[in-house]
Structure 1
């Protein structure tokens, strides 16, 4: 491929870094690589230097294998925490990528935006991205609407961490003999984490508490599938939260497309059945559609659209920032 014929899409999340090299014209992925080492965060948020240490060698190796010539037509980077923890990335990446790869068109996106673009492309609608956390994002292609995604202490209602925490609370209620407890969830919790009275000491000091809580969500789903009413109620409440977030971000008007994306929805029928009912109740005129792809697909979609000048998703200083070609001072902020 010659200069301008290829793009890079990047997805940086809690499970690591994924990079795809694709043809600029049609977005067809030629090669992708992944690393299980997540990009750390520091006092200025996501550490740009750490991201570059993984991204640049991988991109250079992909370029050689794909026999590309010259710089990419565009690069799109989607990162967890970009909306609130992206100061270092915004300050460092444009100049560094221009110098290292000759990047002249760059999109910096929150991972919710790449999840949206992967699921629905560039059409109006709403997407709920669910995993350890949960966020809903919707657009009418003029502005973005966001609901939740505030982390496991302030929100992420209905997420894997929320389900796991609610399940463990029910386990501890059973341990204490309080109302609302579940012996089935208590047994699962002790099987996974050890004696119940040792759980606070094992959980509270952890820096990855949200992930640990989310690791219990599949146990909650299994208990619900086996007929435990407390576990089933946890998942019904999670479904109501997810539907509420989707309703908050759906564009006005009839027939909003709603897609679900992320590992949370692999919990299966114990979550999906009450969620279908909750969505029908809250959004009776919406269309539930399958997600076309994942956040890496979304990053490639954004990069390809940026390369061709057809990017229609709304620009936003926190959610989707586009940097066009610059001068010796690096890429300049978009003036449009």
Structure 2
């Protein structure tokens, strides 16, 4: 296999011959792996829906199967060995249940790929070729699979907000991203940010400082116990971002009666809109979609976000997200198998490897 395309080029893999293509999609995030199969193409008189730009995500043929353990990181970033230990049994089970002997393509969407993906890019293609016979592989940042699941191959911007927050935009010649720096350096407006802001307001009330919220203090005590114990509960934990995010619904639940909680969500909305404005294509009528669990908070967040986006991005057309990041990985795999992948290639955001023997031709310094 060899990298196909350079930064800003469209990725176009060779097409398969006639017949259906079974593809594998992987979504690796903070809660573990999700894995699904999809079918594409035509088999005799049976037509399997073929992905089009304006179509819904390809239908899942099997899955998703899930793991409950996030993929670990090591000295070179995301551990390819740990990912494979979880992925291979699930992939083989899905293939056996579907009667699939080969995979037309695989797409792996991974949280942290852009900054922690060196080991995956170096080791995963050869390992998947060896273990599953994979000859077409796309490694994508989870921001890319979230974008593709929401909008497909269209110019636009997607705000993905769960525990973290990132805005991703493309004009289909290059990718742009804003924030997504993690809960210590950014992710402003995401679940961990909202939860941390709510807990800060609770502790301000506990101290008697300005800007505190007695209702948030009461909820923090109900959820976590006495405030002086909160640093000991949070700081040693490796999953503290998720713990902080678990308090975000408490903030949203108080918005109707607590001005401090309402202000936190308005500020979160402003951060999201600023990130979207930084990456949205300036020309045409780009589409704009929201995806992620934070948006289940409802009107307390969506109301101010809609107003902020209307002010900053009046030329963008708001559309509902067509699917989630696993759907996005499935789209990418199906389009790669069909030779129609038209998303911009990027060494860190979307790396595609295709047919030629990987061990002979792979150059880790290629763009």
TM normalised by structure 2 equals: 0.88
Alignment of 1:285-300 (within 5 A): 285-300=315-330
Q: Is residue 65 of structure 1 aligned with residue 109 of structure 2?
A: no
- Give the 5 Å matches for 1:45-194: 45-69=77-101, 71-194=102-225
Aligned residue for 2:271?
Answer: 241
What stretches of structure 1 move > 3 A for 4+ residues in a row? Answer: 330-336
1:261 to 291, 313, 323: 291
Deviations 1:196-229 (A, max 9, x none): 121112211222221111111000000113x100
Secondary structure of 1:22's counterpart equals strand
CA distance in 2, matches of 1:3, 1:14: 36
| Secondary structure, aligned partner of 1:145 | strand
Residues 5 and 56 (structure 1), Cα distance of their counterparts in 2 relative to 1, 3 Å cut: same
Matched, 1:14 2:30: yes
Whole-angstrom distance in 1 between the partners of 2:360 and 2:184:
38
Quick one: higher RCO (CA 8 Å, sep 6+), 1 or 2?
2
How big is each residue's C-alpha offset from its partner over 1:286-310, in whole Å with a ceiling of 9 and x where there is no partner?
1111000000000000001111111
Residues 239 and 271 in structure 1, CA contact (< 8 A), matched pair in contact too: yes
**Structure 2 unaligned runs (5+)?**
1-17, 42-49, 51-57
Q: 1:22 to 1:291 in 2, by over 3 A?
A: same
- Specify whether residues 123 and 333 from structure 1 end up closer, same or farther in structure 2 by C-alpha distance, changes over 3 A only: farther
Matched, 1:204 2:235: yes
Residues 282-321 of structure 1 correspond to what in structure 2 (within 5 A)? 282-321=312-351
| CA offsets 1:129-184 (integer angstroms, 9 cap, x no match) | 10111001000000111100001111101111110111111101111111111000
- Does residue 276 in structure 1 map to residue 292 in structure 2? no
Q: Hey, what's the Cα distance between the residues in 2 that align with 1:157 and 1:328?
A: 39
Cα 1:96–1:248, aligned 2, differ >3 Å: closer, same or farther? same
Q: Secondary structure at the match of 1:21?
A: strand
Q: Which runs of 5+ in 1 are unaligned?
A: none
Cα distance in 2 for residues equivalent to 1:176 and 1:314: 51
Tell me how far apart the structure 2 counterparts of residues 102 and 207 of structure 1 sit (CA, whole Å): 36
Change (3 A) 1:328 1:264: closer
Find the residue that maps to 1:24 and give its secondary structure. strand
User: In 2 relative to 1, CA 294–260 (structure 1 residues): closer, same or farther, beyond 3 Å?
Assistant: same
SS of alignment partner, residue 309 of structure 2: helix
C-alpha distance in structure 2 between counterparts of 1:271 and 1:188, whole Å: 19
SS of equivalent to 2:167: strand
**Are the equivalent residues in 2 in contact too, given 1:133–1:151 (CA < 8 A)?**
yes
Change (3 A) 1:209 1:331: farther
Query: C-alpha separation between the residues in 1 aligned to 2:19 and 2:92?
Result: 14
Do the aligned residues in 1 keep the contact of 2:291 with 2:321 (CA within 8 Å)? Answer: yes
Alignment of structure 1 residues 201-240 onto 2, 5 Å: 201-225=232-256, 227-240=257-270
Q: Aligned-pair distance for 1:121? A: 0.4
Aligned length: 333
Residues 331, 73 of structure 1: alpha-carbon distance in 2 compared, 3 angstrom cutoff: farther
CA distance in 1, matches of 2:361, 2:40: 20
TM-score normalized by structure 1? 0.96
Shift of 1:28: 2.5
